[in-house]
Structure 1
């Protein structure tokens, strides 16, 4: 039995998603919400396997909600195609366009089922692929406060306590620029924000391309965040998509 939570601010959409889920054997709906703020307030008291999220919602976007519940598998449902890159950067299981086709939705549910099964499967005795091995190393290292990544200068051990700022590289969106407390700059190769495994209680995403260390923030407004860097204070835009989640962390 799989359990899910549904979040869509539009009542007809919420009712339709509920109906689709009720028709899938082995799937149980824990709660259905039309208010993302209420869901975030109650999240710590809920037990569920995955979440079905709308993206464009008032107050808190589905992308910000996914950031807040990082680690839970997410299916995004939306009428917009332009958020797909951000959705998969958050390690979404699937991105289903509205109006939702029943067969397409069931396909997304099967993907969740496969991911959950893989997460609970015993470790294979065979050799891991390079990508799988890197992901395991990052995830296990994150629990200890560090992880190893590929950089423009070779392998690098990234200690999270030293990180102040992470931004998407201008040349290649798959790469990330990292600024450390000692002023050193790193260029990490082919890694998403979610694959960095930055501790969510220590870092906040403030726009599509920027994650900052919360303790480095000196000032912020509704549209801008100022952080203290070795070269001096710098200001970065705080986008509407991530604003509410940023306030929640601050």
Structure 2
């Protein structure tokens, strides 16, 4: 994924470049203190992501966002929280408040990578890759027992242990094979083949008791009874 950094503060540019260098599949192809100088490269090269400061003298980040290709994903970077609401109206991926930690930077990049996840079907593959820390972890669907959604990340319980990722439950729900996995609770997606038994509206997998949420109950029982 290619990106450009625009910020009128040289130290802020240096920090963002340093953060980006730690992410293997993120490539900085330009860094500018003057947003108008960045227009040329935006017209000539394919750019996936733009880290864009809001408060700049020549043109604000909000104004700049309105004139560039809408297909370019934008993450606002700023020392002020005043523009947060307007940024969401502009369909900005994320809004980072300075000083920006690497963890927060990484979360924002993950949002871009996962905004349009490609659905994975059984016909295409029997495995998927999950972004965890600085690598993509290969997981076979048959090894996944269940997924548990936590506050800022998802815990994937496999036969070998847990894998943590910043991807969202909704993204997994859309991409995992529907014949093998089903969401049974706002915090759980389970693998049907690993269900040991169902008791009192609870599913038991490897000693884990998973409640069936009211919203998902009908869909789950239809799935189970039709198998």
Taking structure 1 as the reference length, the TM-score comes to 0.46
Q: CA deviation at 1:62?
A: 0.7
2 CA distance for matches of 1:114 and 1:42? 25
Call closer, same or farther: CA 1:122–1:68 in 2, change over 3 Å: farther
The aligned residue for residue 50 of structure 1 is 49
The aligned residue for residue 76 of structure 1 is 76
**SS of residue in 2 equivalent to 1:5:** strand
Q: CA deviation at 1:46?
A: 2.1
2 CA distance for matches of 1:102 and 1:123? 30
1:106 aligns with 2:111: no
The aligned residue for residue 142 of structure 2 is none
The aligned residue for residue 33 of structure 2 is 34
1 CA distance for matches of 2:41 and 2:109? 24
Matches within 5 A, 1:137-152: none
Q: CA deviation at 1:67?
A: 1.0
The aligned residue for residue 164 of structure 1 is none
The aligned residue for residue 94 of structure 1 is 94
2 CA distance for matches of 1:105 and 1:61? 21
- Segments of structure 1 that go 5 or more residues without pairing to the other structure are 125-250
Checking the alignment, whether the CA contact within 8 Å between 1:40 and 1:65 is kept in structure 2 is: no
The aligned residue for residue 18 of structure 1 is 17
Q: CA deviation at 1:64?
A: 1.1
Q: CA deviation at 1:123?
A: 11
| Cα RMSD (Å) | 1.7
2 CA distance for matches of 1:123 and 1:25? 23
Cα distance per residue 1:88-142 (max 9 Å; x no partner)? 1110000010011110110000001112x43xx3699xxxxxxxxxxxxxxxxxx
Cα distance per residue 1:29-59 (max 9 Å; x no partner)? 1111111111124421121111111100111
Matches within 5 A, 1:149-228: none
Q: CA deviation at 1:68?
A: 1.3
**SS of residue in 2 equivalent to 1:13:** helix
2 CA distance for matches of 1:30 and 1:41? 12
Checking the alignment, whether the CA contact within 8 Å between 1:49 and 1:73 is kept in structure 2 is: yes
The count of corresponding residues between Structure 1 and Structure 2 is: 120
- Segments of structure 2 that go 5 or more residues without pairing to the other structure are 122-227
Cα distance per residue 1:191-240 (max 9 Å; x no partner)? xxxxxxxxxxxxxxxxxxxxxxxxxxxxxxxxxxxxxxxxxxxxxxxxxx
**SS of residue in 2 equivalent to 1:20:** helix
Taking structure 2 as the reference length, the TM-score comes to 0.50
Call closer, same or farther: CA 1:88–1:123 in 2, change over 3 Å: farther
The aligned residue for residue 66 of structure 1 is 65
Checking the alignment, whether the CA contact within 8 Å between 1:3 and 1:50 is kept in structure 2 is: yes
4+ residue segments displaced more than 4 Å? none
2 CA distance for matches of 1:78 and 1:5? 16
